[in-house]
Amino acid sequence: QQLDFTNEYKEYMQNKEITCLTDVLILDTYKDCKVNCTLSTLLSAVVPVSFVRTAGFFQKFTNYLGSVEAFDYYIQNPDCIVTDLKLDPVPAASFCSWLKDPYNVVELETLLNSSQITIKPVAQKFEGSPIFRNKTICVTGTFQHGTLEDIIAILKSYSAEGTTKFDNTVHCVVVGHYEDEDRSITELANAYGIKVYGEDDFFRYYEIDLDIQKQRDMLDHYLK
């Protein structure tokens, strides 16, 4: 549903039923509405274009996060968006400035914590070929390519189901580069004849690093 900005919206404003964006959710017309969106979509809708004009910036930002929960850290430490992440410095600095306004943070956190809004997890890094469709891949250990959530997001880009638990649905196991894996997983995999890959071999064999670099190059192109 959308507000009629020529009539309904003005009436709500004049009656002081709406004083900020989040008030829309408690109006009788919209109190039962449910919104299901990604964090990048929410940020694109909430942060004014006057602050962040660069197309694709929030998608790239959320890709770096690896999980929705990681955003809490950057809400509390907005300067780290500029210093920690390899993002276009201009929109990154503008977004950082926007997050430093307490009013904006309150409004954003109200939306993030609203029972009417469901933020989808960072489901996948990019749109890859569905080479792992209908396959479940178990990951274990510490990876060079990111957290376990990051690795699962990468696998989902190829239509795989990622998991950290081994069962009879697992197609293969990928062990992190630093080899501090759960040995019970690799032992079970070997016992059942399930292929076990090291991180480096797996990413090289399926040319995943090439796809990740292509995605970064494409986003960098859009951000220029």
3-state secondary structure 174-209: EECCCCCCCHHHHHHHHHCCCEEEEHHHHHHHCCHH
- pLDDT for the residue numbered 54: 82
Per-residue pLDDT of the chain (224 residues; tens, 9 = 90+): 554 545 666 777 777 777 666 777 777 777 788 887 878 888 998 999 999 988 678 877 876 665 677 788 899 999 999 988 778 899 999 999 999 999 999 989 988 888 888 887 656 667 788 999 999 999 998 899 987 878 888 998 898 988 888 999 999 999 998 878 889 999 999 999 999 999 999 999 999 999 888 877 765 655 45
pTM of the model: 0.53
- pLDDT for the residue numbered 79: 94
- pLDDT for the residue numbered 221: 58
Lookup result for tokens 């920690």: 84
Q: Cα separations (Å) of 160 from 47, 74, 103, 127, 196?
A: 33, 29, 40, 12, 16
Q: How far from chain centre, in Å, is Cα 46?
A: 16
Which string of b and e fits 50-87 if b means at least 16 CB within 10 Å? eebebebbbbbbbbbbbbbeebeebeeebeebeeeeeb
